[in-house]
Amino acid sequence: MIRRLTVWLFLLSIVCPPLSAQWAENFDHITALTSPPWRGQIADFAIIKKQLKLYVEYPDDLNESRIAITVPYFKTTTWKGDVKLDFRPTINNYLYCYLYCYGEISDSEFDYVALRWGSGSKGVDLLDVRLRVLPSGESSIVRSDILIDGSAYPLGTKPFTSFTVTYAVGSGWQLWVNGANDTGNETVLIGSSSFDVESPFQSGGLGIDCFYTKSRSKAFSFDNLSVTEGTVSPPEEEEEPIPLGKPTLNELMANPLEGGSEYIELYNPTDKPVVPSKFAIGILHNGSYTTTTALPTVADTLYPGQYIVFAKKSEGVTDFYPQAQNVVTMSNLPQLANKGFTIGLFEEGLDQPLEEVVYSPKMLGEGNVTRRGVSLERISFETPASDPANWAGGLPSAGYATPGYLNSQSSNADTTQLGLPNNETEGNGKSYLPPASIAEEILLLPKGSLCGSAIYLMSAKTVKHMDGTATKRWCRKFSEGKDLGESMGLPSGYSYLIVVWIQRPDSMVYARKCIVTL
């Protein structure tokens, strides 16, 4: 029995002889579509540069061109193809590709699983559709349900996409797409669907249905179409190894406060992640590093601009410095001798240190040689760690130590060389003040004073700098009762180090600081 469907385009040739276990067409060896095996509006398509292209010379304002070819169905089936659209799909310019007919409702209505580009979709969707073929030869979709939503992977302006669709009876469908926007050359699993209705037919029409305006009548291209037995998903691309950075020594605490812990601090100055457990530290004994100690894996990714502190006991740091960040217990931390030592940072598997620091209590500065709780802070990441002049004791205004956050001596954040008023108290004194006290001081500055603000994330990343006018503005708004974040224009959900510098007419520059969480 030959149905009307065979004459009208899309339908399954359910009495056609059995087909081979695959069908493929790359358009390399044909110069035009012929009937058979193709049917439909084949005059609207041409083979150009070994690709199938829609090629309509005199289109109307709105058009539809459809072709189909009979392909085999299996218990497990894979469909593949390349589709290039010379436009971003829209509500008037879009494409359907009918893959699998699983139901014949009447002589003119059929249920299909199909792919869709456009028509309200941002990506490539897999749909369950009911297709109605009209006596005129035109078709319409009377029902459309999304099986796999591709909107999370939107198409670009002129998308070139390669699709792979698999169906296994009893398991359902999967859709992969290569060429979605912002995914580069990566093949992405768009999604899966448990929809599972087996076709009663051994073969059916693979249909291409182009909907287009006058200006898009030559803007659809197709290549490398195939239908094969088995659900062979795209080979997983081997992930390229993520390039890793190398940390640097940034702060050393050898003589902690009573009850506190010794610690070392590392910083990631690179634009790549660092894996701390791939590094080790060692203390030089009699001119050699006889042993090195691997860093623990408890915090195994240090992102660019982040700090990490390794201490004998984490509470030996956090109990004394509430603002401390990212402190990790390392019970086997080598002892840091108060009288001096040389510490080396090693990369896994290497015998020579990446960098060395020779610690001497004299480097802490006058008055700090025997003072407990003074850390040795690195000044600049641009200067080698081995340079003794690149280290100094933590400033009194910062409590003499900055574990896990911006060093008080750091030139990288332009907070070094900040002098203190003569009446500045020692320890965590007046420089760390509530923001309300800082705002009040700014608003009461005498005529001729200068000021400014710098705001940092706790990773030391600069958020913004504010001149004197902007600093006085946020101080005034905050003093009038506005929220601090709103006053300074800072987003909530972060911790910030706010550094306000002040210069009175009769004094040197000094700093006021606060750490806030908004």
CATH number, domain of 22, equals 2.60.120.200
d(CA 407, CA 418): 13
pLDDT above 90 as % of the chain: 51
215 plus 277 within the same structural domain: no
d(CA 421, CA 139): 84
Mean pLDDT of 222-238: 79
Taking 90 as the threshold, does the pLDDT of residue 42 lie above it? yes
Would 427 be classed as within a structural domain?
no
346 plus 203 within the same structural domain: no
Would 262 be classed as within a structural domain?
yes
Among 2, 34, 29, 5, smallest CA distance to 16 is for: 2
172 plus 258 within the same structural domain: no
Would 119 be classed as within a structural domain?
yes
- Give 409-437 pLDDT, tens digit per residue: 877 543 333 333 334 333 334 456 788 98
CB 150 within 8 A of CB 132: no
Confidence of residue 134 (pLDDT cuts 50, 70, 90): confident
Confidence of residue 137 (pLDDT cuts 50, 70, 90): low
CB 206 within 8 A of CB 214: no
148 plus 25 within the same structural domain: yes
473 plus 333 within the same structural domain: no
Would 458 be classed as within a structural domain?
yes
pLDDT reported for residue 508 = 65
d(CA 371, CA 257): 9
d(CA 168, CA 379): 63
CB 509 within 8 A of CB 419: yes
pLDDT reported for residue 326 = 86
Domain that holds residue 364: 248-398
Would 371 be classed as within a structural domain?
yes
Mean pLDDT of 3-10: 37
Among 509, 245, 247, 266, smallest CA distance to 407 is for: 266
CB 151 within 8 A of CB 89: no
Would 204 be classed as within a structural domain?
yes
Q: Exposed (0-12), middle (13-18) or buried (19+): which is 277, by Cβ within 10 Å?
A: middle
Taking 90 as the threshold, does the pLDDT of residue 245 lie above it? no
CB 478 within 8 A of CB 485: no
Mean pLDDT of 255-260: 93
pTM above 0.75, yes or no: no
DSSP 199-218: -S-SEEEEEEEEEEEGGGTT
DSSP 368-391: -SS-TT--EEE--SSS-TT-GGGE
Would 403 be classed as within a structural domain?
no
| Segment among 149-163, 278-292, 362-376, 404-418 with least mean pLDDT | 404-418
pLDDT reported for residue 233 = 63
179 plus 263 within the same structural domain: no
Among 203, 165, 207, 211, smallest CA distance to 187 is for: 165
Among 394, 401, 424, smallest CA distance to 508 is for: 424
pLDDT reported for residue 247 = 93
169 plus 83 within the same structural domain: yes
385 plus 440 within the same structural domain: no
Residue 261 token pair: 């812990």
252 plus 147 within the same structural domain: no
Would 347 be classed as within a structural domain?
yes
How many of the other CB atoms lie within 10 Å of CB of 377? 28
* CATH classification at residue 280: 2.60.40
156 plus 207 within the same structural domain: yes
Confidence of residue 135 (pLDDT cuts 50, 70, 90): confident
384 plus 259 within the same structural domain: yes
d(CA 516, CA 514): 6
Count of domains for the chain: 3
33 plus 117 within the same structural domain: yes
Mean pLDDT of 38-65: 94
